[in-house]
A and B are shown apart, each in its own frame.
Chain A
Amino acid sequence: MSTSTPVLEVRNIVKYFGTVIALNDISLRLMPGEVLCLLGDNGAGKSTLIKTLSGVHKPDEGEYLVEGKQVSFDSPRDALAHGIATVYQDLAMIPLMSVARNFFLGSEPTRGWGIFKRFDVARASQIAREELNKMGIDIRDADQPVGTLSGGERQSVAIARAVHFGAKVLILDEPTSALGVKQAGVVLRYIARARAQGVAVIFITHNPHHAYPIGDKFVILKRGRIMGTYTKAELPRDEMIRMMSGGEELDALEHELREFAGK
């Protein structure tokens, strides 16, 4: 794989829901080890775009390429097989199951063969701990239920799992939105670690203070269209904050409020 091939690319994607044009002419390129921040207000089409990328929806028009090869996903499972892993906000983690059992759900390591093939619990715990360590997540005990972890730790386990099972692209749907300042920092650090391992990340967030430090590229989505794609150098922090929080609309609102209160 040459370094000039994007790991994920979509060209002119269009998605309809009945008469509604949910996505219109969306094009994205994502290189390995790149963090792309997807920004936009509610209803901008962020969720639809993620779901299209992760195999939940099929685009009505346009091309979808993974490592330069055209693909068409029938299910999230299908996308996962191509290395596109999505970590949703409402975590795909089962609180009453242990960290190790969650980590390996669906891909359990086994020993023995035939009818004596069994789930290698000890190895699962060990690998889970090692992998989490590699990501800088210091889990106390891989046999403790996921329910005993904090929100940030759970997100981190989900990210570590995706990386361990060979994700090339990680789609993170608002992983920091429900977290406190410190925990969000923890998750951002893991995103940086994943990037350092060559994983490309699509990071969806409402929070410019989370997006700016980690992002390499910023895509602003509005009413189903891409309003602009910027590299970090092209987009000063203040400008990005302005664009994310609604830009001109906020100016107009401020003006209106001043009129209302003032005179």
Chain B
Amino acid sequence: MQAANTTTPDERVRREGGLRRLLRRPEMGAVGGALLVWLFFAIVAGDSGFLTLRGAATYLEVAAQLGILAVAVSLLMIAGEFDLSIGSTIGACGMIMALLAVDLGWNLWAAIGASLVFALLVGAINGILVVRTKLPSFIITLASLFVIRGLTIGITRLATGRTQLGGIDETLGFDSASAFFASALRIVDPASSRGASAEFPISVLWWLLIAGLATYVLLRTRPGNWIFGIGGDENAARNVGVPVDRIKIALFMTTAVAAWLVATITVIEARGADVLRGEQREFFAIIATVIGGTLLTGGYGSAIGAVFGALIVGMVQQGIVFAGVDADWFQVFLGAMLIIAVLVNNFIRRRASQAK
């Protein structure tokens, strides 16, 4: 009887259409949204360059840097926590690289390694504070947002008297580091008769790599299942033996490492560091994650959703430039989109989980 039951599907399982099955995935709202946004700008700004390969390269570059953050943030948010300190961590990591490599003459790779250690430390401290004090991570990381930014500005000014440092391109190891973090892939546009081409930054590859890794962890590993469990009901998860504290600390370290990667990419691309770099990135990452269908309260979401969330934000940010609208209006679009996305995602989730 049991064997029969496992091999033949229950007759009460209505054969779900492919569409309905797909709708159960948390990221479906964002995939549809990305399609709509693309269509919108294809119509509005299609003849001013949005549809060209170069147009795609510009919005993908924005989406990639944001997406690296958003993927890490989505893991943390599925586990029910926030990290507001990533923007400041980007600024601090970049400044550490520049101070060590430019001012102290370190090899750039060593400076990158040192700032990675710093990022891991920031993540660990955030995580340990959240786990030990049981305060909301919103409060803990709001505090570290200001502490880290303040320290970055203060120490940089004390050490150099400035708030910006250039000259990264003259440091040892710049060429190899540049190949790794800031090179570009030139792709020739097959649609263009004059052989026009566009440069796609390597950060797009980093973004997709991290998204793939995060998706694998979430859906196909034990810690992935624990992340969902912790976000759904922390006490229940703890009672069945999930190492809640360790997972949370690891996730805070993951978001900090994502910030470090973005810092490395921007420092090398811009050939310098700025104490204010990364400001507001934490909010953009949360927006991309929420647009991607991850529940603000945890327990539900996906890394692929964060990828599409970041893509939407990137397309809107660059699309309105192509459309000839002043870039000042971007934030208005972003805020409105956030509300719409949450409403749509709520609707989809309710339909998916009420399938009785």
Contacts and interface: CB of A to CB of B under 8 A. Distances in A.
Contact of B221 (A101, A105, A119, A126): A119
Interface size range on B against A: 35 or more
A95 B350 CA distance: 12
B331 interface: no
Interface string B1-23: 11001100010110000000000
Contacts of B228: 94, 96-97, 101
Given A96-B300, A105-B237, A134 B224 contact: no
Interface of A: 76-77, 80, 91-97, 101, 104-108, 110, 117-119, 121, 126, 129-130, 133-134, 138-141, 144-145, 147-148
Given A92-B233, A101-B228, A133-B1, A106 B242 contact: yes
B237 A106 contact: yes
11 contacts: A77-B238, A92-B233, A92-B235, A92-B239, A94-B233, A101-B229, A105-B242, A126-B6, A130-B5, A139-B10, A140-B10
Contact of A106 (B6, B221, B229, B299): B229
Interface string B198-229: 00000000000000000010011110111011
Given A118-B220, A129-B6, 11 more contacts: A93-B236, A94-B232, A96-B232, A96-B299, A96-B349, A97-B228, A97-B299, A105-B229, A107-B240, A119-B224, A144-B355
A95 B299 CA distance: 9
B300 A105 contact: no
A96 B6 contact: no
A77 B299 contact: no
A115 B229 CA distance: 22
B192 interface: no
Contacts of A110: 222
B324 interface: no
Contacts of A147: 353-354
Given A101-B225, A105-B240, A121-B220, A95 B232 contact: yes
B205 to A, nearest CB: 21
B51 interface: no
Contact of A108 (B1, B222, B295, B300): B222
Nearest to A104: B225
Given A96-B353, A97-B232, A106-B229, A134 B2 contact: yes
B241 interface: yes
A97 to B, nearest CB: 5
A100 to B, nearest CB: 10
Contact of B229 (A97, A126, A140, A145): A97
A80 B239 contact: yes
Contact of A105 (B5, B219, B226): B226
A94 B229 contact: yes
Nearest to B220: A118
A55 to B, nearest CB: 10
A77 B10 contact: no
B240 A119 contact: no
Contacts of A117: 221-222
B356 interface: yes
A91 B300 CA distance: 18
A140 to B, nearest CB: 5
B352 interface: yes
Contacts of B10: 138-141
A148 B355 contact: yes
B274 to A, nearest CB: 37
Interface in B105-154: none
Contacts of A118: 216, 220-221
A94 B242 contact: no
Nearest to A77: B241
A107 B239 CA distance: 12
B216 to A, nearest CB: 8
Contacts of B241: 77, 80, 106-107
B5 A77 contact: no
Contacts of B13: 140-141
A129 to B, nearest CB: 6
A1 B353 CA distance: 45
Contacts of A80: 239-241
